[in-house]
Structure 1
Amino acid sequence: MEIVTRGEARHEYTPDERARVLTEAAKPGARVLLVAQRYGISPSLVYRWRRETAGRPARQALPRAPRFVPLLVDDGDTRQ
């Protein structure tokens, strides 16, 4: 089994950096996807910043109950 971890730490954006991105994304005719690509960030991050700037909390996934799947192990022994 191979465990792949993220090789770099998350970038902390300054309020000025966020404002620059949000200002550009808010211009008439601007597309969030293109603005995000220009800054090398995810479009979902731009949308999150918009919600936070508007005073709305970031959306979070609803908690789900853990799912268990039965595991059958065959040891290859054909004796009954």
Structure 2
Amino acid sequence: MARMTLMSGPERRRRWRADERREILIDAFSPGAVVADVARRYDVSTSLIYKWRREVLAARDENGFVPAVVVDGAGVARPAVARDPAIVVELPHGARVTISADAAAALVTATLRALR
């Protein structure tokens, strides 16, 4: 059965809160997700999801910062290993991110996603 949303009053457009947008974007661009499926689930246009993503990426590029990601178990102390880094990502303006070979997989994944 089809679902219908009735908008009453002078406002004809839905307003999405920042936390709702963030949740939709996380769902839409998580590994294996299909944006069209997520759009249907939240009853939002796929073009609006892509617009929100462009806005987030543009804002991130303006200030050069990305949100921090906290990973469970990241606070566990590990012995220092004197090895060459396994991954080196060179960013514009000379910034560099190095990831050692013994870094936790979840931490590496979160770091690389944040750099995307």
Query: Which TM bucket (shorter chain)?
Result: 0.5 to 0.7
CA RMSD of aligned residues (A): 1.5
Q: Which runs of 5+ in 2 are unaligned?
A: 1-5, 60-116
Q: Which amino acid aligns with 2:46?
A: P
1:45 to 45, 48, 58: 48
* Structure richer in helix, relative to its length: 2
Quote the residue 1:73 is aligned against: none
Per the normalisation by structure 1, the TM-score is 0.58
Tell me, yes or no, if structure 1 residue 16 matches structure 2 residue 19.
Answer: yes
Task: Kindly report structure 1 stretches of 4+ aligned residues shifted beyond 4 Å.
Answer: none
Based on CA coordinates, which of the two structures has the bigger radius of gyration?
Answer: 1
Identity over aligned residues, as a percent?
Answer: 44
CA distance in structure 2 between the aligned counterparts of 1:55 and 1:27, rounded to whole angstroms: 19
Q: Which amino acid aligns with 1:18?
A: R
CA distance in structure 1 between the aligned counterparts of 2:34 and 2:48, rounded to whole angstroms: 14
How many residues are paired up? 50
* Structure richer in strand, relative to its length: 2
1:54 to 53, 57, 63: 57
Per the normalisation by structure 2, the TM-score is 0.41
Secondary structure of 1:54's counterpart equals helix
CA distance in structure 2 between the aligned counterparts of 1:25 and 1:31, rounded to whole angstroms: 6
